[in-house]
Amino acid sequence: MLLRAWIAGLLLAAATVGPSAAQEPDSVEAVEPGGPGELTKCRNWLVASSCKTYHHISLPPRITVGDTITVTFGSSRKEYEFPVARIAHKGRHCAIFSEAEGDRHQIDKINVAPCYRASTVR
């Protein structure tokens, strides 16, 4: 009986992890940044992971899921081709993710404020 309760709990936990990223209510297809962004680059080492944040990242006037944007960052000016896999928008803030799914605190992302939902007309 204890085993059945444990399995039921495990299944319930797996079912409530959440919907896929494309179905999350804060996901949008395109945004218009109102200023520079803040790039967070994460690295997964063999036994640990680390993230570093870079400020004042220049962004294009419109960013759409599926785009690849070139960002320049760091004191020795590095270029990075950032693939836009998902955009989360809430209020006047947005987070642009390089992966569609995963722990939002352990993947590369660009935070932007203010950031506006893009109009559907281009």
Which tens digit of pLDDT belongs to each residue from 72-95? 988 889 999 999 999 999 999 999
Question: pLDDT digits over 13-60, tens only?
Answer: 444 344 444 445 589 999 999 999 999 999 988 888 899 999 999 999
CA 63/CA 67 separation, integer angstroms: 7
DSSP 42-85: EEE-SS-EEEEEEEEE---S-EETT-EEEEEETTTTEEEEEE--
Question: Which residue is associated with the tokens 């993230």?
Answer: 51
In 10 A of CB 37, how many CB atoms?
Answer: 26
* Residue span of the structural domain in which 80 resides: 21-117
Q: Is residue 11 part of a domain?
A: no
Q: Is residue 109 part of a domain?
A: yes
CA 98/CA 66 separation, integer angstroms: 10
Q: Model-level pTM?
A: 0.75
Q: Is residue 15 part of a domain?
A: no
Q: Is residue 122 part of a domain?
A: no
